[in-house]
Each structure stands twice: as C-alpha cells, then as structure tokens.
A and B are shown apart, each in its own frame.
Chain A
Amino acid sequence: MNRASSNSLVIAEAAKCIGCKACELACFAVHNRDNGVGTAVGTVTMPVLPRLYVIRTDSFTMPVQCRQCENAPCAGACPVQAIRQQDGVIAIDAEACIGCKACALACPFGAISLYKAYSGGAELPQPLLQERRDSKLQRKTRITAYKCDLCRNTEIPGGSAAGEDAGGGRSTAAAARDRNPFPACVAVCPEKALRLVEGGTGSSRSLNREGGIS
C-alpha cells in the first residue's frame, strides 16, 4: 500500500464537550494579534470571529472545524487558487481571496465562513467597490473566507509577562509556547474534548484510533 503523509487535524468528542465556547474565543484571540487583541477582553475592538464553531443540538454540543482534507474540495472550488496545501495544512491566502463563497459551499463540514476582513482592529475597506451607507457613498468592507489553519503563524497575545524577559536563558516565546501549547482550541478546552490528531504516514485505522472516532 502506498503510504503518503497526511495532514494533521483537530477533532472533537461530543461526549466531552460542555459547550463553553472557550475554544472559539481562544481561536479568535491567537489569530488577531495584528488587530490589537492582547491578553484582556478589553483589547478587543472587533467582533469575535472564530475559525471553529460550537454547534448545539438537543442532544449534544461540539465544535466543528476543518478536517484539512487531503483532496480539499474547497481548494478545488476556489477560482483564484487562494486555497493551497502549505506546511501540512489547507491554507487560505486572505489577500488573494475574492470572497466568492465557493469554498464555503464546497466544504462538506461547514467549516469555512466568510467574514469582514480587519486590519489594525478596524474593518478593511476594498480598493474599488463602493456602497451607499448612511446616505453616503463609501468603500465596501472587504470580505474573506476564514478557516482553521491549525494555528500556523499565530502568536500568543501578550505571551510574555511584565518583568519576565530578564535572564532565564530561554526566549519568552519558547516559555509562552510551553504554557500555551498549540492549537489554541486544544490547549484551552477545560474538558479535553478537543485533540490534535497528528498527521503522518499512518493508516486510516490508526488515525481513527487517535481521533477516538473508530
């Protein structure tokens, strides 16, 4: 059998999830350092835009997020090749995204959402398109697709504490990573309902075992 390496993914167990949404909040926090989001809720000036979604039914609650599909239908559907396989995840190039929603429609899990784009904590306007708001012609806010990227290229907000960086021999970033293992959703879940299933050369059966989804 030809064993190819596979992408890692985050998977949740409905039996453990209590629906607290700590994962959604953590996801948002670590992805928005550039938008001024620090350690405190008070630093947030934009809507909380997570990349995974706690769903609720009458009988259970659990977060749903990207499976990092090997043959990603979202990437196939993207007309501008803004979705690519990159460093072991299916990644969206937000700058290339044209907001066409094809990926969101193609995703079998509903793991892609389209939200307004933000820069520096404020809505990011489009260069060309305008719309009438408050009876004035204004530049329309850019809208892009958001999905789980397994916390690649994210940063812990305010990961260093005051006075901590002096001495110690280790970088604060490394120390902060120890305290906040990634992905953020997995790290913060109080019930350990989320886990990172490492990709690799394993068979689908071992992936199932690891994910607890046999």
Chain B
Amino acid sequence: MLSSEPIIHIDPELCTGCRRCAAVCPVDAITGEPGQPQEVDAHRCVICGQCVQICTAYAPDHLESADSLKAKRLQRGQLPSVREPLFAAYSTGQALGVKRALANPALYKVVQCAPAIRVSLAEEFGLPLGTLTPGKMAAALRRLKFDRIYDTNFGADVTIMEEGTELIGRVMSGERLPMFTSCCPAWVKHAETAAPELLDHLSSCKSPMQMVGALVKTYGAKQDGVDPAKIYSVAVMPCTCKEFECSREEMEVDGLREVDVVITTRELAHLIKDAGIDFVNLPDEPFDSPLGLYSGAGSIFGVTGGVMEAAIRTGYELVTHETIPNLQLDFVRGEEGLRTATVQLGELELKVAVVAGLKHVSEILNQVKAGHCPYHFIEVMGCPEGCVSGGGQPKLLLETLRKTAYQARKSSVYRHDSHQQVRKSHENPAIIKLYKDFLGEPLGHVPHHLLHTKYQSREKEVSPISAGREGGKL
C-alpha cells in the first residue's frame, strides 16, 4: 500500500484555533490565525502526532448529529464501534483494513508490537498509567486471530547488532562521523527535509519495525513453512509516522511490502474492544518463537536514551571483549532535550549525545554542517521522551497527568528490562541463532540486502522562476 496521502489532519469544523498544537509542533508545520482553524503543512510535517496528543477541541456529540459523527469516524478510518470522543487534530487510521484481513482465512497474519505498547496499552482499558502488560498484549493479539505474535523488540536487538557494528567500523575509520540513529521515522523525514546534505551521517540501518518486517517474510516464512506472499504483516506502533515509514517505496523485500500496515496503540485498543475481548482479565501469554524473543536491551528502545544504552551494552563488549561492569547506564537516561556523555570503551573514548524532542536537533545539525560536532554517535527521537510519548499512544484527558504518564511508562520500560534474563542484544539466543542460520555476519551480504536502506532528499524543489525572484530580492 504505497500512499502519499497525508496522515495528520486538523478538522476545520472542530478546530477552535487555540494553537496549542502549533506550540508543540517541533517543525513549525502548523499554520493559521488564532481563533481560526489551523492547517498542517504536509511537506514540513514529520507526522510525529504531538498535535494529536495535545488537542482538546473535542466534538461535542450532544450538539453534533449522530450522522455527522459517524461520517467523521469513517473519514478517520475508525471502526464504527469506537465510542471515544473525536478531536480536531487526528491521524488517519488503518484498523478497518486490519479487521477485514483478520477475518480472511487465506492470509497468514503476523503481528509485531513496539517496545512502548506494552507499557501503555492497559491505560486504554482503565488500568493505572504505565501498567506493564506484555503477557496480556500477546494474549489479546492471539485472540484477535493473529497466527504469529512476533515482536519489534527482537528487531531492536537485530538493530543493535547491525548499528553497533556499523558504529564501531565508522569510529575506527573516522568516516562519516557523527553517526545518527535511524530508528525514528519522524527524525529520518526531518533529516531528509531539513538537512539532506547530512543523510550520509544517518546509520544505514532500517528501523527495528522494518527489520522485523523483512525477516518475517524471509527467515520467519521459512521457519513457519508459509508462502511469503500470503503473509499479512501488521505492526502496532506508538507512532503516527510509522505508517508513513512502512509505505516508503524502498521498504520492500523481494517485491513484497515488509510491513503491510501499521496501527497505533489506540487502534489496537479499538480492535480489542471491537472483538469483545476482556483485556483486563486476560492471562499472560508468551510471544512466539523465534521473532518474538527479546533481550532487555531491545525493550528499552521505547524510551529516550534506550537505543544508546542498548548500543553501549553491546558495543562495550564487542570492543573490549570484557563484560560490561554495570548494565544500568544512568548517564544516558533522562528526558526531553540534549544529553551528552563520554564513554570509555577500552582504549576508545566514545562521545555520545542523546536528543529527545525534534526541536532540540537543530543545534546539533548546525554543528555537523559547520564541521565541528564533537560526538561520534547521536541518538535522535522525535517525541519528547521517546516512543513512550509517541503520537499514537493513549491520549490523556488531563494535561496535568502528562509528566506522570511519561514517567510511569518509562519506569515500566526500565523495570521490564531489569527483569529480563538476557539484557544484551548480542546475548539473545534467538539473535545468535538468526545470524548463525540465516544472516551470517552483521553488515554482511544478507543483512545488507534485508536490513539496510538509503535515504532521499525531500528538500523542496525550487522552480527557476521563484529562484530568480529570490535572487532579485537581494
């Protein structure tokens, strides 16, 4: 499903023009007069969905006709059974298509969930903020009739193998430094739009979601003995931009889409409710083998600093051949803004930076453009505290709970990590087996084909006439 349709919208009939969305937009993509309906500039928009999260301009359903609300739900791609209020800022959903596919016995339905889903999904069912429910999540997906419950956290572990190896190679050779992470599609789109000359600096790794997608239709299909063409691959993401990522032309493997469709945390909750599943009372169930087995390092990708921490846990051991003395790397943990640290990996002094919230990246981009950026490795996440605060996450009714919610979700992510038996990606037995049986070496021929990608400039093309005008002004 290749689509360039915009995903983020503001309903002019509901928008009151308060412009709180414009205040949280990290790329100034929302324009309009105060008090008037706002518009989204789709070119600038990085689809992070922070506007969707902040919007409080709800449709007063006691005033609107039932028919108009129904039409709005349909336009937004919501299941007809959804009863929650509608807001002016919204993202178009994919739940209708997923529901249809789940009822199709000819398809082999595979699902993966991002690390941040299991710490927030329960909020949609009235459980306390940040309740950790990986087992109930897997059970609910199984009851929705997915044939395989795989996991993005496994893809995060693969990402560490590839990106960690890539980083070490680039640091040793001094090439294209600093290296930026490439997991966050909003950041990637922003880099393509605002700094196309720096695209060489992005890791060539696909995101964990796309890596799982590519593996589901190759390695996974082989393991499960199914025809890859019959696989319908769904990803549940805390993110409104992941649907854009999965629709990128290059995200295909042997002529098949790696991920067929992405739904958000909120949409998964809609599907669970629509199917009449009593989420709160579900038993804990496991993920499926092999693409559902993950390490603690994979699970912390859901918070800002998590990719960095996971990369250092593995990078330290790959470089020094010694066990890392402490697994909890507090110096990269934190919240919105820019955090920096120097990490000693044997002889190597690795300078790292973590950016949370896309508005904090411009300073770094300017440093890189000017050639005096001191860091080797920079993690960038578009949303304020990483994926736990993503645009597809449960939307809070009270702004006053936002900090508490992010804190609670983050604590759960870290608690989940600390309770895992395996906490380093390279020690995940399913990862070791994947490389031994299928991928070969990190950055090798097969990984290069399946797990790495290229980026494209999205700089607005300037027509010769308008360029001339610009020149005339001077």
User: Could you tell me which A residues sit within 8 Å of B by CB distance?
Assistant: 18-22, 24-26, 28-30, 36-49, 54, 56, 61, 115, 156-164, 179-180, 184, 187-188, 190
Within 8 A of A (CB), among B60-81: 60-62
Contacts of A115 in B (CB 8 A): 62
Once bound together, how far apart are the Cα atoms of A158 and B396, in whole Å?
11
Among B34, B270, B399, point to the contact of A188 (Cβ < 8 A): B399
| A–B complex contacts, Cβ < 8 Å, 20 sampled | A20-B18, A20-B57, A25-B398, A26-B398, A29-B397, A29-B398, A38-B123, A39-B128, A40-B395, A40-B396, A41-B266, A42-B84, A42-B123, A42-B125, A42-B269, A44-B84, A47-B62, A157-B397, A162-B132, A180-B400
Within 8 A of A (CB), among B367-421: 394-401, 403-405, 407-408, 411-412, 415
User: Assuming A19-B17, A158-B401, A162-B128, what are 4 further A-B pairs, CB within 8 angstroms?
Assistant: A42-B123, A47-B61, A157-B397, A158-B123
Among B61, B62, B394, B408, point to the contact of A163 (Cβ < 8 A): B408
Contacts of B125 in A (CB 8 A): 38, 42-43
A179 and B18 form a contact (CB under 8 A): no
Once bound together, how far apart are the Cα atoms of A157 and B128, in whole Å?
9
Contacts of B412 in A (CB 8 A): 162-163
Nearest Cβ on chain A to B244's Cβ, whole angstroms = 23
* Closest chain B residue, CB of each to CB of A37: B397
B398 and A42 form a contact (CB under 8 A): no
Once bound together, how far apart are the Cα atoms of A180 and B401, in whole Å?
8
B408 and A162 form a contact (CB under 8 A): yes
* Closest chain B residue, CB of each to CB of A161: B408
Once bound together, how far apart are the Cα atoms of A19 and B57, in whole Å?
8
User: Could you tell me which B residues sit within 8 Å of A by CB distance?
Assistant: 16-20, 34-35, 56-58, 60-62, 83-85, 87, 123-132, 266, 269-270, 394-401, 403-405, 407-408, 411-412, 415
A19 and B16 form a contact (CB under 8 A): yes
Once bound together, how far apart are the Cα atoms of A104 and B415, in whole Å?
52
A39 and B397 form a contact (CB under 8 A): yes
Nearest Cβ on chain A to B150's Cβ, whole angstroms = 24
Contacts of B403 in A (CB 8 A): 179
B16 and A179 form a contact (CB under 8 A): no
B400 and A187 form a contact (CB under 8 A): yes
B18 and A18 form a contact (CB under 8 A): yes
Once bound together, how far apart are the Cα atoms of A166 and B204, in whole Å?
44
Most B CB contacts (10 A, CB to CB) among A43, A115, A184 go to A43
Once bound together, how far apart are the Cα atoms of A48 and B395, in whole Å?
15
Contacts of B123 in A (CB 8 A): 38-40, 42-43, 158
